[in-house]
Structure 1
Amino acid sequence: MAATTDTFAAPIAAPAPTRAHLGRRTFAPEGRGLAVLLVLGSCSSFQIGAAFATRLFPSTGAGGATLLRLGLAACLMLALTRPNVRAWSREQWRAAVLLGLSLALTNGFFYAAIARIPLGVAVTVQFLGPLTLAAVLSRRVRDLGWVAIAAVGVAILGWRDGGGAAASGGRLDALGLGFALVAGLGWALYVLAGARMGKTVEGRGGLAVSLAIGALALLPFGTRGATHITERPGLVLVAMCTALMGSVVPYTLELSALRRIPRRAFGILLSLEPGIAAFAGWLLLSQRIGVVCVIAIAVVVAASVGSTATAREKEV
């Protein structure tokens, strides 16, 4: 990671939502091509993890699947990073708790959403959270305009077209859309909590601890469902794949990408995620994507790219 501090936080200076952040950096031009592949790999891995999670839903429910994902990811990350938590200050623990709770909120409601609506739709709606936060922090009319455009795209998702906006061919589940909106709120809170974590805890040990805290917060909601995997041992492998592909792999790839490209370029690449999610839902889950959904996702992606490209960012 060059001569930088390896932290885990989403940059609040860049409007496009991100799951990772580094401090001041220098970038080698020859590493940018690899960075593009790393970000695309991260987005793909995240959506593959979500697809694996849907295989758990019939047995564990969304809450159980979320608990398994965060819990197993926490165990893996703690084993890899071995953070020296005994030396942490009260401020560092507070940052870890806030990040952990935001992770629990975001992932819990996101999984509840994809249990009811297509993957691409859920990710698209969820994007409103960090985009709105960035616009509010920017306080520029132009950035509020990008959010308005994204909101129009999300509103389009409620329309019905001949091919069917939802997997069922009818209108999208209203509760599922609501869950995705709450997940977007959680993502916005995660951006703030991640930025705070990045200032107080060095290395990825903070992420490992926060994942564990998030899993603990989900125990009351997911324990009963999570224990059902003991009845079907094959689901243990699915749960491990969910944790690896949904957390460990994408976060690691993003951190590697951010060593090579500025946050602005990273944010633009990450703005493609709704489209990648829609493709993953079609390819892995046989979720139909109607014309209206394609238009809506394209509008949100364009708003996210525009928001990132026109951002005022103190970046190299």
Structure 2
Amino acid sequence: MATRTARTLPVPPWSLAVTAILSVQLGSALSIHLISKVGAAGTAWLRLSIGALVFLAVARPPLRAIRRHDLPALLGLGIATGVQTATFLAAIARIPLGTSVAIEFLGPLTVATVRSHNKRALCWPALAAAGVTLLAQPWHGHIDLAGIGLAGCAAGCWAVYILLTQHVGDRLSGIQGLAITVPLAAATTAIIGVHQAIGHITLETLAAAAGLALLLPVLPYALEMLALRRIKPSAFGTLMALEPAAAVLLGLLLLHQDPSITQLVGLILVVTAGTGAQRGGRRIAQVV
């Protein structure tokens, strides 16, 4: 039934992937307001906790199907997802959204390059690094090393996420896997998030967190699953390379982060690197 529905959707599959990208970046941009109230870790904890409740309601965790050798990958995936979410939110509170996403994108880009087993593919991370440098513009004298470091940590977690997702995906379906890993991610962020958010949680903040949870991770994962049933993983990965561009656009429209000509050139380099790395490659998986 689900496959038949995916094939008869009256929209082109690429539009589902693009909508998922916009949902992710919209959720990131709109998180800035909540971060100012409950902190980055608090925002991550609330968002992931509500997302976990949604996935638990949709799919029961297949606990009986889990084997002992699956536990390290599941635990690692949950922790990586939680740390990635918290560090990325902390990064966008310090540096522009587009720059944060471009730095974070170095993680999956490096994984795609290594998996290609082609020495010439090493030019793509180098090109992306040059683009990130143009986006950060360190020669202006003001550079937030903490923000860049947090985005770099998120990049590393995204790379780990991709590697562990392959193992977990071989054992569990998408929603079933999320019903396990997203609660683990929420528990990871709770270590700091509860302390940041406690005393600041109101009905307004809960409503905002619920809306953000729908934007990321609930809606993007549903759209991605539908898109991947109708397009090749390599084509999907190429579309994901547009994510830094979407981040810059929404940063401009919602956060009034106006990029310079130099930064736009850097953005083009990052998108070009992401597109090139995906030629004949595998899917760049989306994080929560």
Q: TM-score, normalised by structure 2?
A: 0.90
Unpaired runs of 5+ in structure 2? 284-288
Partner of 1:284: 254
Root mean square deviation, CA, Å: 2.3
Matches of 2:195 and 2:65, distance apart in 1: 34
Distance of 2:138 and 2:190 partners within structure 1:
38
Question: How many angstroms apart in 2 are the aligned matches of 1:110 and 1:226?
Answer: 17
Identify which of 53, 71, 76 aligns with 2:31.
53
Of 28, 45, 51, the residue aligned with 1:73 is 51
Supply the AA of the counterpart residue of 1:58: S
**1:211 lines up with 2:212 in the alignment:** no
Deviation at 1:282, TM superposition (A): 1.1
Match of 1:178 among 149, 161, 175: 149
The aligned amino acid for 2:175 is R
> Secondary structure of the residue that 1:82 maps to in structure 2?
coil
Q: What's the TM-score, normalizing by structure 1?
A: 0.83
- The Cα of 1:306 is off from its aligned counterpart by 1.1
CA distance in 2 between partners of 1:229 and 1:108 (Å): 18
Tell me, yes or no, if the aligned pair for 1:125 and 1:177 is still in contact at 8 Å: yes
Q: Does structure 2 conserve the Cα–Cα contact (< 8 Å) formed by 1:71 and 1:212?
A: yes
> Could you tell me which residue of structure 1 aligns to residue 286 of structure 2?
none
* Count of aligned positions: 281
Structure 2 equivalent of residue 16 of structure 1? none
- Deviation, 1:236, is 1.3
User: Offset of 1:205 from its aligned partner?
Assistant: 1.3
1:147 Cα offset (Å): 1.2
Q: 1:222-301 residue pairs with structure 2 within 5 A? A: 222-230=193-201, 232-301=202-271
Query: Within the alignment, does 1:115 sit opposite 2:86 as a pair?
Result: no
Alpha carbons of 1:84 and 1:115: their partners in 2 closer, same or farther (altered >3 Å)? same
Q: Distance in 1 between matches of 2:138 and 2:184?
A: 40
Q: Distance in 1 between matches of 2:282 and 2:159?
A: 18
Q: Deviations over 1:91-121 (max 9, x none)?
A: 3333321210110121111111101011111
In the TM superposition, what whole-angstrom CA distance separates every residue of 1:70-95 from its partner, at most 9, and x where no partner exists?
11100111111122324422233333
Residue 313 and residue 204 in structure 1: after superposition, are their counterparts in 2 closer, same or farther (change >3 A)? closer
Deviation at 1:188, TM superposition (A): 0.2
Paired residues for 1:68-107 under 5 Å: 68-107=46-85
Q: Secondary structure at the match of 1:157?
A: helix
Aligned to 1:133: 111
Q: CA 1:146/1:48 → structure 2, altered by over 3 Å: closer, same or farther?
A: same
Residues 1:203 and 1:111: Cα distance change in structure 2 (over 3 Å): closer
Q: Is the 8 A contact 1:73 1:244 kept in 2?
A: yes
Which residue number corresponds to residue 15 of structure 1?
none
User: What SS does structure 1 have at the residue aligned with 2:125?
Assistant: helix
SS at match of 1:204: helix
Give the distance between the partners of 2:125 and 2:58, measured in 1 at CA: 38
Question: Percent of aligned positions with the same letter in both sequences?
Answer: 36
State the alpha-carbon separation in 2 of the partners of residues 105 and 32 from structure 1: 37
Which residue matches 1:17? Answer: none
How many angstroms does 1:202 deviate by? 2.7
Identify the range of structure 1 (37-46 vs 287-296) with the bigger mean alpha-carbon deviation.
287-296
Distance in 2 separating the partners of 1:117 and 1:134: 26
Q: Deviations over 1:261-307 (max 9, x none)?
A: 00111011111110001111111122222222211111000111111
Partner of 1:147: 125
In the aligned structure 2, how far is the partner of 1:197 from the partner of 1:84?
12
Where in structure 1 do 4 or more consecutive aligned residues deviate above 4 Å?
A: 30-33
Residues 312 and 47 (structure 1), Cα distance of their counterparts in 2 relative to 1, 3 Å cut: closer
The aligned amino acid for 2:191 is P
